[in-house]
A and B are shown apart, each in its own frame.
Chain A
Amino acid sequence: MKTIKEKHSLAMRWCHWVNFPILTIMIWSGMLIYWANDIYSITIFGHTFVRFFPDWFYKTLGIPQRLAEGMAFHFLFMWFFTLNGIFYILYTIISGEWRELVPKKNSFKEAWLVLLHDLHIRKTAPPQNKYNAAQRIAYTSIIIMGIGSVITGLAIYKPVQFYYLTWICGGYHLARIFHFALTLGYVFFFVIHIVQVILAGWKNFSSVISGFEVVNEEPQPAIQTVNDDEEAQ
């Protein structure tokens, strides 16, 4: 028998979908700013593997010569990014949803099993509630990264007035590097996230818009052993 199973709260869905375009704008305007002094690369033992960013990349995205515009966008949308983040964190704490999100003692060990399972190396995945161990780690990390972006951002935005933040970040110079590295982290998260969402299928995706999933409930199950998320895959 079909039943509606509540999955994602309205607040969580709101924060997720508001954050997506805002973060996109922050990353884009951040690139407009970064272009003016684009000195970062991944260089190991004198060999440069990646230079941020190649000229074709800048040209394709229309980035050059827009520092002032980039700053203007960045310093407007920073407010929305921060407020949305604060709202989400407060909501998660007050509602108690953090219990489903924060990694547990065994999450780090379990995440490894989840990874092996997702890579089709291991047949079974550890049992889970709403989120599996890997998700718990990922969704908590991304929030910590968000806090990190705000702190490193403020550290380079007002290094005199927020000197203590700049100090925490190891100085102005290092704070800018962290701010940039965190952005690379978001892009990395995004790629994995999209792949996982595609693999998890439509039912899973639509629940982040509608808030619920439709499940087939066995009549009178004594203990529910079926894992809904797994079934969706």
Chain B
Amino acid sequence: MKKPSKKVKKELTIEQKINRRNFISFGAFTVFAAGAFEGWRWLYKSPNETAGITAEAHKPLRKALNKTELFFRRVVFNENHLVKTYPKEMATKRVRYNSDIGIEAKNKFDPAAWKLQVIKKGGEILQVSIDELRALPKTEIVYDFKCVEGWDQIQHWAGVKFSDFIKHYQLDEYTKMEYVGMETPDKGYYVGLDMPSAMHPQTLLAYEVNDKPIPLNHGAPLRLIIPVKYGIKNLKRIGTISFSNTRPRDYWAEQGYDYYSGL
């Protein structure tokens, strides 16, 4: 049955149609614009995260960084993807020196007395001297070192593969844990690394740069070279190495930077 009332309903005039559509579209536009602006203001003014392993980032942004990390760790990261390497001749002779946090010259340090300390389960400490490390198979790498600031430089490093080091000292069971933590002897600089990145075949415990022992300002006697991370993770002058299932503390992650900082 047809309802006569529907038939009676007048067709809108062209003016009415125009006005109606303008009202709806401009109205919706204004509402969305206001919503977007409010959303932006909320995000921009959002408080910093509670200081912990990471700090100094807007709370929602830290959450986003961590989620993005998971995406790239789970979906994208492939340990078989190697950092591009270059012929030795292309390596810079003047390796850029950018920071001395944790290795300040004013703090006395004697490389000769240094020993690497690996903190094992139950507080047991494995001590390794630089000569013992030099006796292990040596791996060289010439690659493009990348700083979080934006610069990059082709550098030539040599040392022990982190994975070789683990194997030699029979630390394999520790690689089942999720993270490696490294700190300078004075605890002034420290990094946390996810295990797959630490065990990446190009990660080195380096003791040479351009075929010479690493100078003090580059982290003598032993530093980390981890090409799958930004420079900030390439800790100079390794004092201790530890393993854990929770994120070890990380100097720059405490200052608002991404914890993962992977490349």
Contact = CB atoms under 8 A, between A and B. Distances in A.
Given A36-B150, A68-B257, A160-B81, A209 B56 contact: no
Given A160-B263, A212-B21, A68 B56 contact: yes
B58 interface: yes
Contact of B84 (A33, A34, A163, A214): A163
B112 interface: no
A158 B262 contact: yes
Given A4-B17, A36-B149, A158 B76 contact: yes
Contacts of B151: 37, 39
B16 to A, nearest CB: 11
A36 B148 contact: yes
B contacts with A: majority SS: mixed
Interface string B67-94: 0100010001110011110000000000
Contacts of A105: none
Interface in A51-89: 67-69, 71-73, 75-76, 79
B40 A68 contact: no
B162 to A, nearest CB: 16
B42 interface: no
Contact of A160 (B29, B61, B227, B257): B227
A161 interface: yes
Contact of B147 (A37, A71, A159, A212): A37
B191 to A, nearest CB: 15
B40 A210 contact: no
Contact of B18 (A68, A71, A75, A214): A214
B263 A158 contact: yes
Interface in A108-140: none
Interface in A165-185: 166-167, 171-173, 176
Interface residues of B, number: 46
Given A2-B18, A211-B25, A67 B146 contact: no
A69 B57 contact: yes
B22 interface: yes
A72 B84 contact: no
B36 interface: yes
A161 B29 CA distance: 40
A3 B15 CA distance: 9
A79 B72 CA distance: 13
A21 interface: yes
A17 interface: yes
Contacts of B57: 68-69, 72
Interface residues of A, number: 39
B56 A4 contact: no
A171 B18 CA distance: 54
Taking each of B57, B64, B147, B263, which has the highest tally of chain A beta carbons within 10 Å of its own beta carbon? B263
Given A2-B14, A3-B14, A67-B148, A72 B263 contact: no
B62 interface: yes
Nearest to A180: B150
B183 to A, nearest CB: 21
A37 B149 CA distance: 6
Contacts of B84: 159, 163, 166-167, 171
B40 A209 contact: no
A34 B150 contact: yes
A72 B58 contact: yes
A37 B64 CA distance: 25
A64 to B, nearest CB: 13
Given A72-B65, A159-B146, A209-B26, 19 more contacts: A4-B18, A4-B21, A33-B150, A39-B151, A67-B148, A69-B61, A69-B256, A71-B148, A72-B258, A75-B65, A75-B68, A76-B68, A158-B262, A159-B83, A160-B83, A160-B228, A160-B263, A171-B84, A210-B26
23 contacts: A4-B21, A33-B150, A68-B57, A68-B255, A69-B57, A69-B256, A72-B256, A73-B61, A76-B64, A158-B72, A159-B146, A160-B227, A161-B72, A163-B84, A166-B84, A173-B144, A173-B152, A176-B150, A206-B26, A209-B25, A209-B26, A209-B29, A211-B25
